A and B are shown apart, each in its own frame.
Chain A
Amino acid sequence: GESVGLHLPTLSVQEGDNSIINCAYSNSASDYFIWYKQESGKGPQFIIDIRSNMDKRQGQRVTVLLNKTVKHLSLQIAATQPGDSAVYFCAEIVNSGYSTLTFGKGTMLLVSP
């Protein structure tokens, strides 16, 4: 199930389950979104991105869905594996001027064998 800790929301799933990690973004002008995976002691690793002219994009075992109406982004991981255990960050950027990448708070995914 999903729980909200003091600092980092946590999603606990069983190996083989599908996982859905959600992200609400704040800037309606954001038009490019990225999901990063960060394992303990490592830097964020690019997983998948999506531009605002799309509402769905699929990669290997991952799918990103974008709902601009409610400013919501989700990352779906199929057949979750223990190696998927990490903190997942969504990030948004506005495609104009000197806009910077803005990260969401992050969600910790824990996968039990």
Chain B
Amino acid sequence: DTEVTQTPKHLVMGMTNKKSLKCEQHMGHRAMYWYKQKAKKPPELMFVYSYEKLSINESVPSRFSPECPNSSLLNLHLHALQPEDSALYLCASSLVPHQETQYFGPGTRLLVL
């Protein structure tokens, strides 16, 4: 089983809203990732969690706040987003950090109005 699940599938929010994206995997993977993907572009890395600790933050604005409650769950808290933050947000996991195949979830399609 190489399944990563993400909820919600779609999200529409205003610039003053607070929302959260959720990601879950039960493969025993110890690394989890958040990516942002714009249309017709490759995924861009946002955050890396390694053994439940934040190991990489790719200079992401503070209106995006990641959280890793346990080894199976990864959240992305959103607050005061801008319309240009509209994108597909992808979660991925790998057995160990960085040097193994990453398995992606289906993504959350976010629209900021």
Contact = CB atoms under 8 A, between A and B. Distances in A.
Tell me whether A and B are bound partners: yes
A93 B99 contact: yes
Interface in B91-113: 92, 97-99, 101-107, 109
B109 to A, nearest CB: 8
Interface in A66-113: 87, 89, 93, 95, 97-101, 103-106
Interface in B78-100: 90, 92, 97-99
Interface string B30-63: 0000000000111101001000000110000000
Contacts, number: 56
B98 A99 contact: yes
A24 interface: no
Interface residues of A, number: 25
Contacts of A95: 99
Contacts of A46: 2, 101, 103-104
Contact of A43 (B41, B48, B90): B90
Interface string A28-60: 000010101000011111100100000000000
Given A7-B41, A44-B43, A100 B48 contact: yes
A100 B44 CA distance: 11
Nearest to B6: A43
A91 B54 CA distance: 22
B43 A103 contact: yes
A100 B45 contact: yes
A43 B93 CA distance: 12
Contact of A42 (B92, B99, B103, B106): B106
A93 B98 contact: yes
Interface of B: 2, 4, 6, 40-43, 45, 48, 55-56, 90, 92, 97-99, 101-107, 109
Interface of A: 7-8, 32, 34, 36, 41-46, 49, 87, 89, 93, 95, 97-101, 103-106
Given A43-B107, A93-B98, 5 more contacts: A7-B40, A43-B4, A43-B104, A98-B48, A100-B48
